Amino acid sequence: MTVRITDNSIINAKADCFKEGIFDVLSLSDKQIEALTALTDSETDELLFGGAAMGGKSWTGCEWLLWSCLAYPGTRWFIGRHHLSQIRESTVETFRKVCAKHKIPASAWKYNDTVVKITFDNGSTIKGIEMMHKPGDPDFDSFGSTEYTGGWIEEGGGVAAKAYEVAGTRIGRHLNDKYNVRGKLLVTGNPSRNWMYSSFYKPAASGTLPENKKFIQSRVTDNLFREKGSFERLDNLKGAMRARLFMGDWEFVDDPLQLIENDAISDLFTNDYVKEDYSERCLVLDIAMRGSDFLRAAVFYGNVMVEHRFMKRSGGAQVLKFAKDLQAKHRIPASRIIYDSDGVGYFLGGEGGFIPGAIPFHGSAAPFAVQKEETKRDSDAKQKQQNEFVNLRSQCAYKLAYDINEGSEWARAVVEPEDVEMLTEELAQIKADKDVTDGKLRIMSKELVKAAIGRSPDFSDLYIMKKYFDLLKISGKKKFNRPLR
């Protein structure tokens, strides 16, 4: 009797091999097989796979989810990224290529672009989830109550720490007992100084990674099926970019345009030797309407942030009450309150109506004339340097960078992991403008920062505006002669 081998029989055979932990039939690299082994064993709960560009990370994630769905009918899986658009435009396309490689018929699965969901004809599903941090959803309730068999966080460098934590609570809860499949969380990404570094790489490097977690490094040289020329393109990169994407170096040096050092940003949250100065307390309000749905506020006692709050966008009366409550609580005079001018104009209808005597912050205004040694590491320079900066916002940002790098600031009030992550991400985006043509110092525009992180940098703006008071003091225009009590 002649046995006819069809595409379906081959697919079924591969699915059976997958369930038995036999991955050679999938034509993958050794590192990819190592990753799949961890994703199907009885010990690992979480795997970080990657650490460099073009190491086969995304392909491995698609292979894992494809064969999991085919091998275990009716199971539910998710793919999480910073934006859903990234899943639509990139991950789904890689998934199509993996299916084509294995000759999975088009009739075996359907993709709904509206809800970003893949549904197989055996009932298994893969759902796309957005994992960017949103102030109005700090606990990521947007995930919904869906229970998943397992999931994959792709490009973890752009995913919020809280999203990673919540994702771990939603897996291992759908048909896992029926199929005797352990709930697994796969994380892929390039080197990044976020929760991947602290939760996986650093413990792995020191030998303290818990037994239920694994870290597997994969570089372009480990990917036998890489695109032609990919090695050469990565090898031609320079500096920190080459260290991260080609070498997979998690201890990469800072971006040369980044004004605040990464280590100094981390220290900002633990600099408890910095003392409060109640006599120099101030209130900073970011009420900007462009690119944000929230009002943020912070109270500083000298160089210590002692409180921060946010509220959803609301009417002028609510905004005024919000500000006045903080003012009264900390007994802050109006002359020590600063707010972004555009936001208040939107809320309160132009002139008047806000706290009389409070200071409107105009980032495009002329910078202060201050001694150069006060804002740069050049104690011998005595000349005025007002013309060194293009505007007040850039001057305040450079002063902030100097103070944080010197370890003279403490974000005492920032303790929640999602808040620490948000402020860390925004401070790292305070960068010098590389396209300067007039010789003046300026920082990268807020529009470019928004494009990089997917939101307005409202949190770091509080710190930037606060530096107005520091520059005001050292400029000699106004000194705090009267101690506040």
CATH number at residue 266: 3.30.420.240
Rounded to whole angstroms, the maximal C-alpha distance in the chain is: 102
Q: In angstroms, rounded to a whole number, what is the distance separating the alpha carbons of residues 190 and 269?
A: 25
What is the per-residue pLDDT for 350?
A: 45
Contact of 304 with 359, CB cutoff 8 Å: no
Q: What is the pLDDT of residue 174?
A: 96
Least confident of 60-69, 199-208, 332-341, 345-354: 345-354
Asked whether the predicted pLDDT for residue 419 surpasses 70, the reply is yes
Q: What is the pairing mode between strands 46-50 and 117-120?
A: unpaired
Q: Which of 31-35, 352-356, 373-377 has the lowest mean pLDDT?
A: 373-377
Confidence bin at 120 (pLDDT 50/70/90): very high
Q: Are residues 164 and 212 in the same domain?
A: yes
In a domain, 186, yes or no: yes
Which of 245, 273, 304 is the last residue in one of the domains? 245
Note whether 218 and 314 are same-domain residues. Answer: no
- How many Cβ atoms sit within 10 Å of the Cβ of residue 224? 12
- Whether 157 and 111 share a structural domain: yes
Asked whether the whole model's pTM tops 0.75, one would answer no
Q: Give a yes or no: residue 192 inside a domain.
A: yes
Place of tokens 């697919």: 11
Confidence of residue 105 (pLDDT cuts 50, 70, 90): very high
On whether residue 252 sits in a domain, the answer given is: no
| 101, containing H or E segment | helix 92-101
Cβ(370)–Cβ(475) under 8 Å? yes
Q: For the ranges 15-19, 253-257, 476-480, which has the lowest average pLDDT? A: 476-480
> Domain ends where: 215, 245, 275?
245
What's the confidence (pLDDT) of residue 433?
A: 87
Strands 337-340 and 304-312: unpaired
**Looking at the structure, do residues 309 and 389 belong to the same domain, yes or no?**
yes
pLDDT surpassing 60 at residue 414? yes
What pLDDT sits at residue 241?
Answer: 60
Using only C-alpha atoms, the chain has a radius of gyration, in whole angstroms, of 26
Domain assignment present for residue 2? The answer is: no
- Do 156 and 194 fall within a single domain? yes
Pick the residue with more confidence: 398 or 248?
A: 398
Domain count across the chain: 2
Show the domain range for 281. Answer: 262-475
pLDDT of residue 219: 79
* Shared domain check, 232 and 334: no
Residue 353 lies in a domain: yes
Q: Is residue 255 part of a domain?
A: no
Whether residue 295 is found in the same domain as residue 149: no
Give residue 227's pLDDT band: very low, low, confident or very high (50, 70, 90). low
Q: Give the mean pLDDT of 89-103.
A: 95
At residue 256, the pLDDT reads: 78
Q: What is the mean pLDDT of the chain?
A: 84
Q: pLDDT tens for residues 128-175?
A: 999 876 666 767 777 777 899 999 999 888 787 788 889 999 999 999
Write out pLDDT tens, residues 361-378: 999 999 988 655 444 444
Q: In the listed set 216, 245, 274, which residue is the last one of a domain according to the structure?
A: 245
Kindly state whether residue 257 falls inside one of the protein's structural domains.
Answer: no
